Amino acid sequence: METANYKKYLAQAKNVHYNNSASELIQRASELNEGILTVDGSFSVNTGKHTGRSPKDKHIIADKDTENNVWWGNNARIERNNFDRLENDMLAHMQGKELFVQDLHAGTDPNEKIKVRVITEFAWQALFIQHLLILPKNIEQQDFKEDLLIIDLPSFKTDPSKYDVRTDTTIACDFTNNKILIAGTYYAGEIKKSVFTYFNYILPPKGIFPMHCSANSDIKGKNTAIFFGLSGTGKTTLSADPDRLLVGDDEHGWSSKGIFNFEDGSYAKAINLSKEAEPQIYNAVRRSTTVLENVVVDEDSGELDFNDGSLTENTRAAFPMSFVGENVSKDGMAGIPENIIMLTCDAFGVIPPISKLDSNQAVYHFLSGYTAKVAGTERGVIDPSATFSTCFAAPFLPRHPIVYGRLLKEYMERYNVRTWLINTGWSGGPAGVGQRMPIQLTRNLLKAALNNDLNNTDMREDKYFKLMVPLLVNGDSSYLNPIDTWSNKDDFDRQARKLVEMFVENFKRFQSEVDADIIRAGPSI
């Protein structure tokens, strides 16, 4: 089955808006009652039942180009005839509708930049992706020939029996013809992550390492640091340092020239956002034309309530990097990283607040992608739940994790990059018993690592995780040995063993793919 030319169907739409400015889009979104205009001029929308991504509904065409290159254990298949049927039906669905087209760039490195055309049903979604990707000059949008086409029609529901998909929500990827279809979800984060998924497929064969990380550098674009971490580990907070340049807060590529941002915007979590804890993000969120997803707004006053999670805990804000402030990289690029920071929020309370990893340990922890969540409370005691998201990016990985792990090790060893594991979680006991690591302690440890203050310090090997832990940082030993912070040492040992067993069990899925040195680099009892 062949698909029709999508431009023919655009011509049959009720109205098509091409490359509107941010002010035009927010005005149209207001006129169409797509959301609520706040007192600050930002725009808040309710995305309905989908307040986050639907990773299990992502499907990739299995063909001769992808069959042996896609990690099918993580991605569902869709046959080409079903994809083509879905595309034809979605194109037909566009007839008579008001549509918004944005022609944008992704990738700040001029040699790796791609042209992305996004077609949406809603003005606010067009504004959302305009904020996050890179806005070309007007002349660059003339005679635009996209490298990647994304069609997002939230009002189109997919019939599983007709297209052989899982639910009425589908994200379908054709990496051979560079198309992605999004149907049945109003959550705009699917558009952003579709671009990231595409980069994760096309860059590794070029020897470029795509990363789900934030990054910053010194004011000269040197002494670059990249930050890996799952939600809630402090990735955005720690990388948005007023004394350093923010290169980007979410997605980057690492080539032999250095790192480059995939985007020119930020998609920040807004739940419990405060001016005291995150002043740069707080101010950016309240700027005119910022797009808010599921942030509760008082309909009378237009005031935002960042503490209200009644719609979802995953409240989000999309805005251009320029909204963050002056200490933002102008070109979204920086030099070869000198430090890699892997962040974990360990609710078991047993991982040191900072430790140094060799290249084998770095690959082990990168493939593990560990953090912990607080599961439930009983009489003040909270039972932590371990979460492992390989490469800190499992939902967005079309290729097998070992592909990205090998790139990490290659670059670490080629450029002698230092890697640190920083625990922003608990100390003195598990969540509900111990205390959360003081944010100032974490900032001081991070600063010491980035300033090379730990290069020659004495270290010990952690008993369980085999990582090298400083004995002193700036003359202070507090918190550095987790067992010392626990009143009951036997309880600490039990918790540590429990977490080690979880690591070992999780890593069994990679044992046939990695070198023995990497397996030995992991924790053990």
- Which residues fall within 8 angstroms of residue 392, CB to CB, at 6 or more apart? 212, 213, 228, 229, 230, 342, 366, 369
Active site residue: 193, 244, 286, 356, which one? 193
How far apart, in whole angstroms, are the C-alpha atoms of residue 52 and residue 12? 32
How far apart, in whole angstroms, are the C-alpha atoms of residue 339 and residue 120? 39
DSSP class of 158: P
Helices (H), 203-311: 235-239, 279-285
Active site residue: 51, 217, 233, 236, which one? 236
How far apart, in whole angstroms, are the C-alpha atoms of residue 404 and residue 331? 25
Q: Can you tell me which residue has the tokens 């008579």?
A: 96
Q: CA distances (Å), 325 to each of 239, 280, 301, in order?
A: 14, 7, 27
Please give the structure tokens belonging to residue 4: 């029709």
Residue 427: strand, helix, or coil? strand
316 is catalytic: yes
Residue 196: strand, helix, or coil? helix
How far apart, in whole angstroms, are the C-alpha atoms of residue 245 and residue 220? 8
312 is catalytic: no
- Which residues fall within 8 angstroms of residue 107, CB to CB, at 6 or more apart? 113, 114, 134, 199, 253, 260, 261, 262
Residue 109: which of 321, 253, 214 has the closest Cα?
A: 253
Please give the structure tokens belonging to residue 44: 């808040």
Active site residue: 28, 316, 399, 400, which one? 316
250 is catalytic: yes
399 is catalytic: no
236 is catalytic: yes
Contact 202, 262 (CB under 8 A): no
Strand pairing report for 291-293 and 258-261? unpaired
Taking the CA atoms of 250, 251, 255 and 259 in sequence, report the sign of the dihedral they define.
negative
235 is catalytic: yes
Active site residue: 235, 269, 365, 409, which one? 235
117 is catalytic: no
Active site residue: 28, 38, 42, 53, which one? 53
Active site residue: 174, 250, 264, 346, which one? 250
Active site residue: 231, 322, 385, 524, which one? 231
List the beta strands (DSSP E) in 337-409: 337-344, 354-357, 370-378, 381-388
287 is catalytic: no
How far apart, in whole angstroms, are the C-alpha atoms of residue 268 and residue 250? 9
Active site residue: 58, 59, 179, 212, which one? 212
Catalytic positions are 53, 193, 212, 231, 235-236, 250, 316
